[in-house]
Amino acid sequence: MVESLVMPGRLFTLLSSLSLLLCVATCALWVRSYWLVDRIDFDRVGRSFEIRTHDHTLFAQWTSRPYRPAGWETTKPTYSTPFSESIRPQHLVYPPASGIPDAYQWLGFFLEPTYHQTPGDPQYDCWFTDVGIPYYFLFVLTALPPCVWAKRRYQNRRRKGLNLCRSCGYDLRATPGRCPECGTVPVLVAGG
């Protein structure tokens, strides 16, 4: 075993830093989503793609025809779903006249998968998919790599300080040249 395998490598450090930045952004958007609705619409040759943040959830929506003009828009929410409500398993059925397809919600995840056809409104007569990912999930996802990085760094420092093998934690005071347990050769630091 090579010692660098258990140390936070450069790539892992870089990815953890990026993840930490995303984590901070996630927290900011999470808080903001309680007060404001942000939506960014993209034009995709005959299609529409939208990222929307609202109600402690990050939504992505795509349609089979242009749905909204491209651009960024911030508005006050017209409705809000309490967090406790969004984590219950739910099959949301809208009035048939609205043309809005059934939606599913569970643990804050949201899915509106099917055809959207509002009678008399050709704009909504299209394939329409809306997916929502809760911010708490994104928070855990982005917080995990920096936490693992910090834990490894702490463990390495501690093991180095106590003269323990950095791979397996074996006491190296009697055999400083090579770990008799796992075979790891400690990297000698100049002056250390």
Q: Which residues bind Zn ion (CB under 5 A)?
A: 165, 167-168, 170, 179, 181-182, 184
Task: Kindly report the backbone phi and psi dihedral angles of residue 72, in degrees, each rounded to the nearest multiple of 5, phi listed first.
Answer: -115, 130
Provide the minimum distance between the beta carbon of 153 and Zn ion in the complex, in angstroms, as a whole number: 18
For 56, the token pair is 């402690």
Identify which of residues 54 and 159 has a Cβ nearer to Zn ion in the complex: 159
Identify which of residues 150 and 185 has a Cβ nearer to Zn ion in the complex: 185
Provide the minimum distance between the beta carbon of 160 and Zn ion in the complex, in angstroms, as a whole number: 13
Provide the minimum distance between the beta carbon of 177 and Zn ion in the complex, in angstroms, as a whole number: 12
Separation of alpha carbons 85 and 103, rounded Å:
14
Provide the minimum distance between the beta carbon of 13 and Zn ion in the complex, in angstroms, as a whole number: 23
Provide the minimum distance between the beta carbon of 12 and Zn ion in the complex, in angstroms, as a whole number: 20
Provide the minimum distance between the beta carbon of 147 and Zn ion in the complex, in angstroms, as a whole number: 24
- Please report the DSSP string for the chain in residue order: --GGGTS--HHHHHHHHHHHHHHHHHHHHHHHTTT-EEEEEEEETTEEEEEEEETTEEEEEEESS--S-SEEEEE--S----HHHHTS-EEE---GGG-PPPEEEETTEEEE-SEE--TT-GGG-EEEEEEEEEHHHHHHHHHHHHHHHHHHHHHHHHHHHTTB-TTT--B-SS-TTS-TTT---PPPPTT-
